[in-house]
Structure 1
């Protein structure tokens, strides 16, 4: 399950982490989108879990040397909130690279965490994904307009996540209006980043975030069932 380079926007390359299921393919694919801390141990574990469930999974590193350190991080955040920017081209390049592989069926899902949850929603409305799983991700204010054309969505939020107050309801309303198949759930006792095991304890306490094993496992159960329905070849 190596680190490698895959195509990116404008003919360049981006680093990525690839996880391959056991056995022989072809398998459906999933693009795994990083949280604010990048493709660290949390995201690698999520990618490995999807591979164990039978998905060819790739996690592209959206913070790239092309962006230039802090400027790159700021550009990625602007892209998430505006819905525009090279990060979306990089996500599409990762999707196309995965779909073109011989060991992939060509049906691709997208999953994201925190920052990546916001990207997963918007990328799913802009590119050829078959299912999307945003986890505690930003939902755009004009969600009905921004998400027009989106694929089926399974989304999870934490009820104690004050930064995303009102976002689950906004997403529910928009997808209902758009007639999109959905499974949206808020876990009352969970905060932000409830899937993430490896954050510094003092940091997550300060931010009202942190790992919640019950919420995490139930959310994964829903994601795997939803992807099983929509990504099967």
Structure 2
């Protein structure tokens, strides 16, 4: 356990006028997934000042060359590593911004393109097409191996992979719980509004409720009570499963928040809940990494 890193937001808003002018070229031109539209005019943009940030590649399983967005503080060696797991829309501009926010807080953050083998999710015109053509075809086992490879790469790229955390959003929130049960070297996870229960499939055989007693590291779950896709009853089931397992993980619910409440580029963004949840996230990683 180490001292907490500063619990600051590290969020910078562009003015409404300049942001609207930038959006004149369309959301896709700015790197937001097509299926994620509409994009808010006041979406947060975190600068790269003091950071080493950008796209790179690393070798994943079977020699596959995987794309990733990495951000880390300039001049800081052995920073704790945070794996950033994309939301359902893939590795688009918002996930890159989140990665920079973690780097601005002192972490080595890396977001691998976990849909890369199946296609480019940012070009799917709507969420139904995205799910059918890409998301439903991504095996959980493949994702676990890709995250392992990203962590190994980070450890060779100046990060301290022995102080490893993982966080994910929506689709990535579910993956965060699963990865906490997969990797015995993980120190902590933060799962943002990830699905907790569901029917098993060949590619997705288990859900977080099934592995609540098998977590290798404490996970902080962040959920909105207004989320229609993840009802309160599911969250309560997961809380009960964690309690039964005597787990050090915990879930925080936000009464006024919907699904995607941290996603400041979307209409679902809820500023008050997002601010509290972000501070809780930095506190969680500051305590456990």
**Equivalent in 256, 263, 269 of residue 211 of structure 1:** 269
Distance 2:150 2:161 in 1: 15
- Please name the residue that 1:35 is paired with: 87
Question: Residues 102 and 23 of structure 1: is their aligned pair in 2 closer, same or farther, counting only changes over 3 Å?
Answer: closer
Gaps of 5+ in 1: 202-209
Do the aligned residues in 2 keep the contact of 1:32 with 1:60 (CA within 8 Å)? yes
- In the alignment, what sits opposite 2:188? 131
Alignment of 1:31-110 (within 5 A): 31-64=83-116, 66-68=117-119, 71-76=133-138, 79=139, 84-104=140-160, 106-110=162-166
Structure 1 residues 2, 186: CA separation in 2 closer, same or farther (over 3 Å shift)? same
Structure 2 residue runs of 5 or longer lacking an equivalent are 1-52, 121-129, 199-206
**Which is bigger in relative contact order (C-alpha 8 A, separation at least 6)?**
2
Of 114, 128, 138 in structure 1, the residue corresponding to residue 170 of structure 2 is 114
Q: Separation in 2 of the partners of 1:13 and 1:30?
A: 20
User: Normalised by the size of structure 1, how large is the TM-score?
Assistant: 0.85
**Structure 1 residues 22 and 102: alpha-carbon distance in aligned structure 2, compared to 1, 3 A threshold:** closer
1:68 is displaced (CA, Å) by: 4.4
Structure of greater Rg: 2
- How far apart, in 2, do the equivalents of 1:143 and 1:4 lie? 31
Give the conservation status (yes or no) of the 8 Å contact 1:143–1:174: no
> What's the Cα RMSD here?
1.8
- Does residue 21 of the first structure (1) align with residue 78 of the second (2)? no
TM-score of the pair, normalised by structure 2: 0.69
Runs of 4+ in 1 over 3 A off after TM superposition: 68-72, 100-103, 140-145
CA contact (8 A) 1:130 1:151 kept: yes
Measure how far apart 1:144 and its partner are: 5.4
- Residue-pair matches, total: 215
